[in-house]
Structure 1
Amino acid sequence: MLDTGNFVLASQDSTNLWESFDHLTDTLLPTQMLNQGSKLVARSSDVSYSSGRFMFALQTDGNLVMYTTDFPMDSANFAYWSTQAIGSGFQVIFNQSGHIYVVVRKESILSDALSNEVSMRDFYQRAILEYDGVFRQYVYPKTAGSRIIRADTGSGACGFNSYCTQEDDKTLHCQCPPGYSFLDQKNEMKGCKQDFVPESCDEKSQKMAIFGGGKCWKKKIPLTNGRFDPSSGRKALIKVRKENSTLQPRSEGLKKKDQSTLILTGSVLLGSSVS
């Protein structure tokens, strides 16, 4: 898979035997070209990738044309836009600057298809003939921060009893709260386990609490959808056993300091089913 998005099957001498850029669908990517006789066909709807009602084609006569199709077939029907460049157009080029244009054989620009130039170095780009018949160019800045997956249910991006962070390289990293360790040291995405024997369920003590915005609410294990967000203003307090604790209940009650303690994990958000 090249940086351009072209999926290539190459021989040992690096000769391309097959490449996805030669098999057009509804999309063009930077450095991709549309030769005479080639076409893009829109999908039929937002959720279906079967051939739709519109076509973007560079005809063998050199004219770049957008057609409605004889739906459900993908043959051309009515032309609703064209460059009127009969006998001249040789290729449609999507260059690295985001400029999409028709060239003649000597590669001089004949006509613009889309002239919104943006750098391939700074932006991800694609041009697509959409199911509504409009040929659109999309750009997305490469410097934009990625987003951590957030959900109301499930284990989250990093598995149960763990939380995710984002480093300077914008990649996701998984971590365990105090008193927990990874289930699999070779795969942090599997989540974390308790490093202590939990108290009896009858004691109703296997809980954590989230505090923020003047409110506090309880959660129960397994902890889910954890993430580190310094801007949240919330704290997660997780109850763990001390290293020298035992499973035996103590009769002193509240006379002595409890064998359990609350560990403050700053700015960690952890979700689970509400107790």
Structure 2
Amino acid sequence: MASLRDIQSRINSTKKTSQITKAMEMVSASKLNRAETNAKSFNPYMDKIQDVVASIASGSRNATHPMLKSREVKRTGYVVITSDRGLAGAYNSSILRTVYNKIKQNHQSPNEYGVIVVGRVGRDFFKKREVPIMLEVIGLSDQPSFSDIKDLASQTVNMFGDETFDEIHLFYNHFVSAIQQEVTEKQLLPLTDIGAESKSLNLTSYEFEPSQEEILEVLLPQYAESLIYGALLDGKASEHAARMTAMKNATDNAKDLISSLTLVYNRARQAAITQEITEIVGGAAALE
């Protein structure tokens, strides 16, 4: 049985851990509010640009673009959004497990795919397993701006244009609520689902100047890059929510452990006191 000093030391260290996790929970809650606001404020822009692209794609048979057409898939790209830090519950492990299982299921050789990764956790995961990493970005702020990933987004789109990849899939954690995040897969390129989405949208009628082909040439790359940025904002909100929940659970577990250790400490102290009284009584009886 541990000594009273050892038990007291564990109680003190657990209390300090509880203070740290509580502070991290409050910090994550504050960051979550901002991240959720950023993600929601970006949605109107995405809805409008999708509306315009869908209107062109569905309204003109002559308006064509390579990003709207499927081609034979010889190599697949995976854009994976993770975090730079841990202590976020299953936020990273769930998405990395999903992507890695999909890669093993769909590909026989590393020449058939490549990974574009955001976040140090994902970068280290794929590097350890010798997965080909084409592009990487680490050290993003908790509230990233588009300029932070503009180069990565632009290069990713260009990799489809120069046929480095024949299709690109986007993986990230979608923010549902503070206690729920869903691993989401979305086909980034080609944009073959624009036409299908346009059927469910109440499209606005537009008059285009210059031609629709020229507009698509500029707008489609911006739209694809915006999909990556929108997924990053969504992923950041999910990250802060997951970390807040994980730290709350850690704080609650620390409190339970402190209660349990306090009970053990009190029992051990009572046993020690009883032992001392017994020894005193026994010594007094021996002197008589």
Q: TM-score, length-normalised on structure 1? A: 0.20
Higher fraction of helix: 2
Q: TM-score, length-normalised on structure 2? A: 0.19
The higher-RCO structure (CA 8 Å, 6+ apart) is 2
